[in-house]
Structure 1
Amino acid sequence: MKAKILIVEDQFIEAKSLNVILTNAGYSTCTIARSVTTAVSIIEKEKPDLVLVDIMLQGEGTGIDLGHILSEKNMAFVYLSANSNRQILESAKSTKPYGFMVKPFRAKDVLIMIDVALYLHKHRMPEKIQTTSSQKSEPRILPAEFSNLIGKSQKFLDILELAKMVGLKDTSVLILGESGTGKELIAHSIHKISARRYQPFIVVNCGAIPANLIESDLFGHEKGSFTGAITKREGKFALADGGTIFLDEIGELPLELQVKFLRVLQEREIESIGGTPKKINVRVLAATNKDLEEEVAAGRFRIDLFYRLNVFPLLLPPLRERKADIPLLANYFLKKYSQEEGKQVPTLSSEANDMLMRYDWPGNIRELENTIQRNIVLTNTSVIESLEIPVSRLAVGAAANGKNGFKTMIENERDHILSVLESCNWKISGKGGAAEILDINVNTLNSRIKKLGIEKK
């Protein structure tokens, strides 16, 4: 039996439209409420499973006031809003909603958001979290397509459960996490279990494309549309038509292109440079290691685009928060790179394992992989007694420093850059290089190395 939903909306036409969407999809609906007072009364009488709450309502009180009440009652709810800003975002977040939809929205978006909200509420109620964490009685059944996602820690398995759920939904997903946490791997796995699995999976690194080329790269251009456009070019969105596009480092997308990207999400159409609008059928997965809410506050990222992307956020934990997975990952990379080098797979001594566990891995899984690969190349024994990882510089830490046990920001920056350089054998650019691990431009990294006086010993 489908959930019962309460619509709290003071605009008659929009409330009616939402009601039609829900009833056509098989949901039962409560009496429509247009104020906080009416909504509270209906909740007591009709006991809805989920509430859709507009921000601006009739009478005293706003949707956010109602959100506080719903949160106290442990009820699932989603905000609806036509006008949003940073202050509204902060106030709304404090009430712990399961989503925030910006008007106008399509029927499909509404129904996916409801599915997501009901799923999250079912699996994230406090008593369920405690049961899952302490008893772990229910076996997790993950799809075979997730077999390359290595880990057994609770935090990581929780993320995989969410990824499995959202993979079956044809909705946008925003994958958050530090550099090197496996955002692209998760995105690819989501694509592989979706209905689009046999269609293209196109990867775009928004931070690696020069600003003057990114529009053409994403949306394409027509012949003669600008100087140098001697032929027509299909953009990445057109190449992904029918499938999935993964936009890595979405926080680097210039503001002027964010408007065009928003149109893709809202209207499902693209417009090449010099061309005309064209309908497109593509699923968008995006990732960033930036705090997009801070980017919104700084005026570098559109808040309406943030809400469109943030329908289903997945926050990948850094490796230091899932240390139980380090031995598993290390063994995986030992086998992988031993096979590539044509060597017998070595084992790690207890001392080597301890070194892995003591280090905080600022470059996350990518840094661990580079470290294991380097040690495989260097070793010719069946047991690796000691690993070459940059633990000493960070482990010695403040105690050796005379400033009341603390280092300056410059000293910490120098140590961090040096440790990453050592972990990847001083490779600066390219895949697995220090610039990629640190998530900064190669030229910027070279400038910092020179300014900080970092030299290879």
Structure 2
Amino acid sequence: MVDELSGSSTPAPPEAKAGADAPTVLVVDDEPSNLASIEKIFQRDGMRVLTAPSARAALDLLRGHRVEVVLTDLMMPGTSGIELLRAIKQLAPDTEVVLMTAYGTVETAVQAMREGAYDFVEKPLKRMTIIKSVRKAAERRSLVAENRSLRQELKLLTKREIIGSSPALRRVLDVATQAAPSSATVLVLGESGTGKELVARYIHDHSARRHGPFVAVNCSAIPETILEAELFGHERGAFTGAFARREGRFAKAAGGTLFLDEIGELSPSVQVKLLRVLQENEYEPIGGDTVRADVRIVAATNKDLRAEIAAGRFREDLFYRLNVIAITVPPLRARREDIPLLVDHFLGVYCAKNNRGRLEAPREVLARLLDYSFPGNVRELENVIERAAVLCRGEKLSIEDLPESIRESAAAAPETITFSVGTPLDEVERRLIRETLRYAHGDKSVAAQLLGISTRTIYRKLGEIEG
């Protein structure tokens, strides 16, 4: 066994020192001579090696060490290699397993691969064969771990979340946080693109229903003729073309939250059915029997529902049922200090999505964005940053990467401040802070962003200036 492992035709290479990124292999065999021989082989190849004479000893080592690959004998007294494989996949599912098998047990080894083993090597063992198999197993584990990490990172980057720390946004989140644990219906108001669905998801995620589904319906995107069936479902044969029973969005949201966006677009007939749900907690699928509604409703609109009521287009009783707790999401122009945070977030998302290095937004670009009114709100800003991330040729965004409407917006850039040579630094600082505050319309957070200092610092400097 020793000669075959070492290779009798060529001298054994000198032992290599294990590097910081060298994989750790755990060798499991009940024969001490085999353990010693295999240990030397992997040490000479620069790997870290642990050895165990039994399955129980191997599992003890796995509990205390990070192991990339386990190389185990298939046939051992007591716990077999197959049983050890199953235990490993429960204890350390990311660890790859390579089996050593004698002639005649190949079918068992193939079965083990179906249960999660990476590979098997046949006895008598060849030095290069086991090194190659274990190295490939370690590489596979590394790739799987890297892919999982990248997917998780991308998931975190692309996860829709509420970004900002402005007082206007904090007020919204305070109300949403208080409303979330209750069962009250919430009406989210605000212009298009402000993030009304994100607020609805925030309420769901902080509610007792967070483990249930969150089902979103854009009422304006579904034709009026099929909206009722889409919401409440229908039975087979309920109408022409109903060839099979279909669950509605209320059924799909059972145990969770149903988000009805653009609620102002509901037809009068659907408004009546929705009112019944809110009053009685029940509804009837088209052609079906009464069903209990186990959903929490959060609605949203960019319309003035009181004006819609006055015009006869929206039911007043439905409005009051929906308007138990009203939350108005501010437009982006009302929370301009959040723009730098949003820019940084969207740059992270779209640089990762387009497989390019992280871009930066220099002060002159932020200044141009801060001055723009963003009629399309956060959605428009997101589109602007995605476009810039794709078109940018350097490592930093430039004004040329922005859309023409923003590049040419009036008074987009701060005016120039000039100082005579010899002006005291205290005076330079004083004037610079005052002019930046004037440009930022008195907003200290925005002024601090433009000056590249913290808001706390600008308050301290103002205290010194006014003192």
With the shorter chain as reference, the TM-score category is 0.5 to 0.7
Mapped pair 1:303 → 2:319? no
Mapped pair 1:291 → 2:341? no
Normalising by structure 2, report the TM-score: 0.53
The CA distance in 2 between the partners of 1:267 and 1:170, in whole Å, is 14
1:276 corresponds to: 289
Within-5 A mapping of 1:304-323: 304-323=317-336
Deviation at 1:242, TM superposition (A): 1.4
Pick from 155, 160, 165 the counterpart of residue 173 of structure 2. 160
Mapped pair 1:237 → 2:259? no
Deviation at 1:147, TM superposition (A): 9.3
Q: Which has the larger radius of gyration?
A: 2
Indicate how the Cα distance of structure 1 residues 372 and 280 shifts in structure 2: closer, same or farther if over 3 A, else same: same
Identify unmatched segments of 5+ residues in structure 1. Answer: 1-145, 398-457
Mapped pair 1:388 → 2:402? yes
The CA distance in 1 between the partners of 2:358 and 2:239, in whole Å, is 55
1:369 corresponds to: 382
The CA distance in 2 between the partners of 1:393 and 1:351, in whole Å, is 14
1:45 corresponds to: none
Mapped pair 1:216 → 2:225? no
Deviation at 1:352, TM superposition (A): 0.8
Code of the aligned partner of 1:383: K
Within-5 A mapping of 1:128-207: 148-207=161-220
**Matched residue of 2:225: which SS?**
coil
The CA distance in 1 between the partners of 2:205 and 2:379, in whole Å, is 22
2:266 corresponds to: 253
Deviation at 1:189, TM superposition (A): 1.2
The CA distance in 2 between the partners of 1:189 and 1:350, in whole Å, is 31
Output the aligned Cα RMSD. 1.7
2:434 corresponds to: none
Deviation at 1:349, TM superposition (A): 2.1
**Matched residue of 2:187: which SS?**
strand
Indicate how the Cα distance of structure 1 residues 323 and 256 shifts in structure 2: closer, same or farther if over 3 A, else same: same
The CA distance in 1 between the partners of 2:346 and 2:407, in whole Å, is 23
Code of the aligned partner of 1:267: E
Deviation at 1:296, TM superposition (A): 0.6
**Matched residue of 1:171: which SS?**
coil
Normalising by structure 1, report the TM-score: 0.54
Indicate how the Cα distance of structure 1 residues 210 and 394 shifts in structure 2: closer, same or farther if over 3 A, else same: farther
Code of the aligned partner of 1:305: L
Deviation at 1:347, TM superposition (A): 1.2
**Matched residue of 1:286: which SS?**
strand
Contact 2:186 2:325 in 1 (8 A): yes
The CA distance in 2 between the partners of 1:237 and 1:257, in whole Å, is 13
The CA distance in 2 between the partners of 1:243 and 1:349, in whole Å, is 43
Pick from 348, 354, 368 the counterpart of residue 335 of structure 1. 348
Q: Deviations over 1:355-399 (max 9, x none)?
A: 1011100110000000000000001311112142322666489xx
The CA distance in 2 between the partners of 1:256 and 1:393, in whole Å, is 48
Deviation at 1:262, TM superposition (A): 0.2
The CA distance in 1 between the partners of 2:366 and 2:273, in whole Å, is 49
Deviation at 1:307, TM superposition (A): 0.3
Q: Which runs of structure 1 show a deviation greater than 3 angstroms over 4 or more consecutive aligned residues? A: 392-397
The CA distance in 2 between the partners of 1:209 and 1:148, in whole Å, is 26
Code of the aligned partner of 1:234: E
The CA distance in 2 between the partners of 1:320 and 1:170, in whole Å, is 32
Contact 2:368 2:407 in 1 (8 A): no
Deviation at 1:166, TM superposition (A): 0.4
| Identity rate, percent | 50
The CA distance in 2 between the partners of 1:170 and 1:226, in whole Å, is 35
Indicate how the Cα distance of structure 1 residues 304 and 347 shifts in structure 2: closer, same or farther if over 3 A, else same: same
Code of the aligned partner of 1:170: S
The CA distance in 2 between the partners of 1:329 and 1:308, in whole Å, is 34
Count of aligned positions:
252
The CA distance in 2 between the partners of 1:368 and 1:240, in whole Å, is 31
